[in-house]
Structure 1
Amino acid sequence: MPSPKAKNPVRSGGSPVLGSSNGRYEFMSLTKPLNRSSPPHLLQRQGSDPTTARLRASESPTRRRGSSSSTGSASGQGLAEEDGIRLNPSFIRVALSSLLAIDLWLSKRLGVCACEDSSWGSVRPLMKLIEISGHGIPWLAGTAYCLYKSDSAAGQEVMLNLFMGLLLDLVLVGIVKAVVRRRRPAHNRMDMFATFSVDRYSFPSGHATRAAMCGRFLLAHLVLAAPLRVLVLLWAGLVGLSRVLLGRHNVTDVMFGFWMGYWQYNLVEMLWLSPQTLQGLLGQLA
């Protein structure tokens, strides 16, 4: 007669029943490590500890692969954003490029006297005459002659400072041209009167700086009637316009030249010399 079924004893730290062999029940402690051949329900029971589960999950290959992939994706996204920022041009650069394109296009359209075959080629001799009227050599020669022929101290003082202003204009324009080194427009013909090495550069227009400075100087220090004052202003404007019509300069070269010549006159006023001061300086140098 079979023996009655015994109740499952409960031991401290005991584990569920693994099975029976020859009518005997076997128990296994939870603290005993399980091998890979242990039944699945025991492996699941052993992993039910939260701390152990978290540690093992963090050490699992899938978790490591996931973390490495997320790190790689984050770094790749960061590099993509950095490349995007590097490739996106700034607003100032785009604005300057647009203004440069407009300047070149407008200068080419206004160069209607660049050669005899241009649309206004018949006006080219008149534009070249206006060009010579704003050249530095005639102004220096004329000012030196007036300084020599002047018989009054006031006239000599005015002509002396005009001569010094013309020399200052040549020096400043030459320095700016040598630094910027902007080429002249492609449709320009290098047939100008008495050019120098820096004259192959375009920025700024020396004729425009000279016209603006001399115009302000004449209006401020010579007593002229109203029609003559209008003629001085008209001459200065025509000198700047002739530079663009002849294809010598771009529009921005002339505009900057007018601005530069306007402020050069202020510099001449600050460095104003009297004949006595000049004689004292020459005496010290001698």
Structure 2
Amino acid sequence: MPSPKAKNPVRSGGSPVVSSSSDRFEFMNKTLLQRQGSDPATARLRASESPTRRRGSSSSTGSASGQGPEEDGIRLNPSFIRVALSSLLAIDLWMSKRLGVCACEDASWGSVRPLMKLIEISGHGIPWLAGTVYCMYKSDSAAGQEVMLNLLIGLLLDLMLVGIVKALVRRRRPSHNRMDMFATFSVDRYSFPSGHSTRAAMCGRFVLTHLVLAAPLRVLVHLWVAIVGLSRVMLGRHNVTDVVFGFWMGYVQYNLIEMLWISPLMLQRLLGYDV
């Protein structure tokens, strides 16, 4: 007669009682698979993709490639040069807006706008070209003609270089500017650099070097150069950096004229005349 202990009793719930630990684990695993509706292979695949293994694999991949979180943070930070340039540009726009007090008649200094426009014409290229040609034609001495000839070459060089730089940079004029300038061209819709500033700096150095002037007149030439540059910002034609770069460019252009100085004899040789 079998012993009652050998039998597997059945509980009221209808599930057999498993005495072995391995049988109990297998039974629970199968029950879990039935609840999830998947096969054992899928369960093993999910177990292999546990968060612990994923964290380990990502850390190993990051260490293998040599790109840790610190390097990613450094790469996302903008460079110091870019931040500095952006800050300088913001300051330039702010100063230009504050100094544009003659940009229109309704501005704080709108009553001074006609005087600023007169100063603008005094630094325009057309009056300087016409005046240089007239002086060269009326001059009786060879030295005077030589000086006026090189000034004419410098003015033409200034127009060419400023046009090239404006076409390359293509910086728009300030938003508060009114396009009512005297005798403008297609390239004049750009503002960098200021052509009036380059011309004023170059012609000012040229006049002070090659013309004999009294002390009061020399002071007036310096004041004229400074006022021409300031009027460009006050009228809203240019930003501050346009004028500053224009002064530097005019200074360099004068040095270039001195290096390429053309005498009447050299001009005759270039034109092919026998001396």
Asked if TM exceeds 0.5, the reply is yes
1: CA distance between counterparts of 2:60 and 2:152? Answer: 69
Aligned equivalent of 2:186, options 183, 194, 197: 197
The residue aligned with 2:99 is 110
2: CA distance between counterparts of 1:167 and 1:132? Answer: 17
Local SS of the residue matching 2:272: helix
Look up the equivalent residue of 2:132 and give its one-letter code.
Answer: T
Shift of 1:68: 6.1
1:102-154 per-residue CA deviation (whole Å, 9 max, x = no partner) reads: 00001000000000000000000000000000000000000000001111010
The residue aligned with 1:217 is 206
Look up the equivalent residue of 1:95 and give its one-letter code.
Answer: A
For residues 235-250 of structure 1, the aligned pairs below 5 Å read: 235-250=224-239
Alignment root-mean-square deviation, CA: 2.0
Shift of 1:65: 8.8
Note if 1:123 corresponds to 2:112: yes
Look up the equivalent residue of 1:72 and give its one-letter code.
Answer: S
Local SS of the residue matching 1:160: helix
Aligned equivalent of 1:72, options 54, 58, 63: 58
Deviates more, 1:165-174 or 1:79-88: 79-88
- Cα 1:138–1:65 shift into 2, 3 Å: closer
Look up the equivalent residue of 1:263 and give its one-letter code.
Answer: V
The residue aligned with 1:266 is 255
Identity of counterpart residues, as a percentage? Answer: 81
Look up the equivalent residue of 1:104 and give its one-letter code.
Answer: L
1: CA distance between counterparts of 2:60 and 2:86? Answer: 35
Look up the equivalent residue of 1:227 and give its one-letter code.
Answer: P
Shift of 1:84: 2.2
User: How many residue pairs are counted as aligned between the two chains?
Assistant: 224
Where does the alignment leave 5 or more consecutive residues of structure 1 unmatched?
Answer: 1-36, 38-60
1: CA distance between counterparts of 2:54 and 2:92? Answer: 54
Runs ≥4 in structure 1, deviation > 4 angstroms? Answer: 64-68
2: CA distance between counterparts of 1:125 and 1:229? Answer: 25
2: CA distance between counterparts of 1:87 and 1:65? Answer: 27
1: CA distance between counterparts of 2:60 and 2:175? Answer: 51
Note if 1:183 corresponds to 2:153: no
Look up the equivalent residue of 1:100 and give its one-letter code.
Answer: L
More helix per residue = 2
2: CA distance between counterparts of 1:270 and 1:244? Answer: 32
- Cα 1:275–1:73 shift into 2, 3 Å: same
Aligned equivalent of 2:83, options 81, 94, 105: 94
- Cα 1:182–1:74 shift into 2, 3 Å: farther
1: CA distance between counterparts of 2:81 and 2:165? Answer: 23
The residue aligned with 2:26 is none
1:2-55 per-residue CA deviation (whole Å, 9 max, x = no partner) reads: xxxxxxxxxxxxxxxxxxxxxxxxxxxxxxxxxxx9xxxxxxxxxxxxxxxxxx
The residue aligned with 1:43 is none
Shift of 1:256: 0.5
- The structure with the larger Rg is 1
Note if 1:253 corresponds to 2:242: yes
Shift of 1:67: 6.9
1:155-201 per-residue CA deviation (whole Å, 9 max, x = no partner) reads: 00000000000001001111110111000000000000000111000
Look up the equivalent residue of 1:283 and give its one-letter code.
Answer: G
For residues 35-50 of structure 1, the aligned pairs below 5 Å read: none
2: CA distance between counterparts of 1:74 and 1:149? Answer: 86
Aligned equivalent of 2:221, options 232, 242, 247: 232
2: CA distance between counterparts of 1:111 and 1:261? Answer: 23
2: CA distance between counterparts of 1:124 and 1:274? Answer: 42
2: CA distance between counterparts of 1:171 and 1:75? Answer: 58
Shift of 1:283: 2.0
Local SS of the residue matching 2:147: helix
Note if 1:162 corresponds to 2:148: no
What's the TM-score once normalised by structure 1's chain length?
A: 0.74
